[in-house]
Each structure stands twice: as C-alpha cells, then as structure tokens.
C-alpha cells in the first residue's frame, strides 16, 4: 500500500497560525490602488489555486485574466448593456431568502452603503455604485470565471472552491480581491466579448489588486456568525 505523503510544512503550528491569519485578512475589497499587479504574481496565485479540490479531479473551471485596455473594453461593454437594459432575467437569490440569510443581507447593505456615505433613498448614487462593479472597482486586474453549462451543482461547488483558493492565494501575497456575482448577469455579453465557446457560461468575476487601506468601504467590517450558530457536533 502506498504511504500517504507526509506533511511538507516544517512547523504545523506556524502553518496553522499563518493560514488563520490569511483567512482573517481576506475580505471583499472595493477600493484599490492603481499600482499594477505583475503578471508573474497573478500566475503564481493561479498556479497555487489550481490545487483546489474537485470531484474526480475534473477541474471544471477556466479563468480569463484582464488588465489595461482589454479590461476597459469588457467593462465598457457590460456598462453599455446595463444602461441599454440589455440584461436577461437573473436572480442572485430566490425570491424569498431564508430568514437568517435575509437578515445578514440587510445588515451587509446597511454597513456597505453607510461606509460609502450613500443614503438608502439615494437611488442615483446607488446606481453609480452598481456601475463601479462593472469596472472591477478600478482594480488593475479583472478575472472572469467560467464553467461548462452542462455541469451539475457539485461542479459549480468545485468552481467555487477554486475561486476561494484564488482569493486565499492572493491574500497570502498581500493582494486583495472581491468576488463579484454581478458579472453572471451579463453572461451573453461577456461570452460574445471574450468569444467563449458554445456552452461556456460565466460563474462570476473578481477584482484583484492592492487595497486602498484608508478607504472607508474597505474598513466596514462584516460580522461573522459564532461557531455555535452554524456548526452541529455529534459524537465528537
């Protein structure tokens, strides 16, 4: 029987502390410095993330990495579709969210727009902030994640694991991210712009760059539920 590979980390306690710190440092950043992220660093992040697990090692994800003029062109195409009302029906969530999820969503919205100084009733300001999504919040790098539409929800879970791995690999290098479901709303526009093969659909996008530390929106801490609220232990 082949022996399982031993843990290559030199000190498990140090590794655990580092990993915990990376996961706590990672957050959704929506204000970035203009400094470019070197291609070599983006490649390192994606190579590390490629070790994400997937069902039967199917690795169902693909990612388009955009910067400079290609990123601007895609963002402009998405914004134009938004203003033209050329957006197919799309829902991030079911019409009736489970009560606890709805409470957390409401709390997020309150913290987010308060940090931006936008009143709940200020529809024009909210619309302008929505448009900033399409421009990757001015991050120097934008990522578009795609998956084959034939795949089932378990493969979508695999894609999500890859997306999370990208965020953690970036955070370990001091690079900030924000995963953005909003790009999935514009799947047909993006598919045409990126010339995606038939059957390839957009799962989400992601902003990637160095965080603007003093931006209020980046300091709006989002609370997490306690362990007792989300974990059930039996026999342990």
The total of structural domains in the chain comes to 1
Exposure b/e, 149-164, CB count within 10 A at least 16 = b: eebeeebeebbbebbb
Would the pLDDT of 3 be above 60? no
Give percent above pLDDT 90 in the chain. 78
Query: Is 226 within the bounds of a domain?
Result: no
Q: pLDDT grade, residue 73 (50/70/90)? A: very high
Tell me the pTM. Answer: 0.92
Would the pLDDT of 146 be above 80? yes
Query: Is 34 within the bounds of a domain?
Result: yes
Would the pLDDT of 165 be above 50? yes
Would the pLDDT of 50 be above 80? yes
Query: Is 65 within the bounds of a domain?
Result: yes
Of the candidate ranges 23-32, 38-47, 54-63, 100-109, the one whose mean pLDDT is the lowest: 100-109
Would the pLDDT of 2 be above 60? no
How many Å from the N-terminal Cα to the C-terminal Cα in the chain? 29
Q: Which two structure tokens, joined as six digits, stand for 218?
A: 């980046």
> How does DSSP classify residue 140?
S
Half-sphere exposure of 92 (CA within 13 A, CB side): 8
Please compute the mean of the pLDDT values over residues 51-66 and round it to a whole number: 98
Domain that holds residue 180: 27-86+99-217
Q: What is the pLDDT of residue 1?
A: 46
Query: Is 4 within the bounds of a domain?
Result: no
Please compute the mean of the pLDDT values over residues 82-91 and round it to a whole number: 84
- What DSSP string runs through 66-125? EEHHHHHHHHHHHHHHHHHT------SS-SS--HHHHHHHHHHHHHHHHHHT--TT-HHH
Query: Is 2 within the bounds of a domain?
Result: no
Query: Is 109 within the bounds of a domain?
Result: yes
Choose among 188, 209, 184, 162: nearest CA to 28. Answer: 209
Query: Is 160 within the bounds of a domain?
Result: yes
Q: Which two structure tokens, joined as six digits, stand for 76?
A: 């402009």
Residue 126 sits in a domain whose CATH number is: 3.40.109.10
- What DSSP string runs through 158-219? HHHHHHHHHHHHHHTTT-EEEEEGGGGGGHHHHHHHHTPPTTEEEEEEEEEE-B-TT-GGGG
Query: Is 20 within the bounds of a domain?
Result: no
């Amino acid at each position: 029987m082949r022996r399982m590979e031993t843990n290559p980390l030199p000190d498990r306690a140090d590794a655990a502390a580092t990993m915990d710190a990376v996961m706590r440092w990672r957050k959704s950043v929506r204000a970035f410095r203009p400094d470019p992220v070197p291609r070599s660093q983006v490649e390192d992040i994606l190579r590390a993330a490629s070790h994400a697990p997937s069902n039967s090692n199917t690795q169902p994800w693909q990612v388009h990495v955009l910067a400079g003029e290609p990123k601007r062109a895609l963002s402009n195409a998405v914004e134009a579709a938004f203003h033209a009302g050329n957006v197919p029906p799309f829902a991030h969530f079911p019409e009736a969210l489970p009560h606890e999820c709805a409470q957390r969503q409401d709390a997020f919205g309150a913290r987010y727009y308060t940090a931006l100084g936008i009143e709940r009733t200020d529809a024009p300001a909210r619309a302008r902030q929505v448009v900033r999504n399409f421009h990757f919040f001015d991050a120097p790098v934008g990522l578009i994640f795609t998956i084959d539409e034939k795949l089932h929800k378990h493969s979508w879970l695999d894609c999500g694991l890859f997306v999370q791995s990208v965020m953690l690999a970036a955070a370990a290098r001091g690079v900030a991210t924000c995963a953005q479901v909003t790009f999935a709303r514009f799947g047909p526009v993006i598919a045409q712009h990126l010339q995606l093969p038939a059957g390839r659909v957009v799962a989400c996008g992601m902003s990637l760059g160095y965080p603007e530390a003093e931006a209020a929106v980046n300091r709006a801490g989002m609370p997490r539920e306690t362990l007792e609220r989300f974990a059930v232990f039996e026999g342990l």
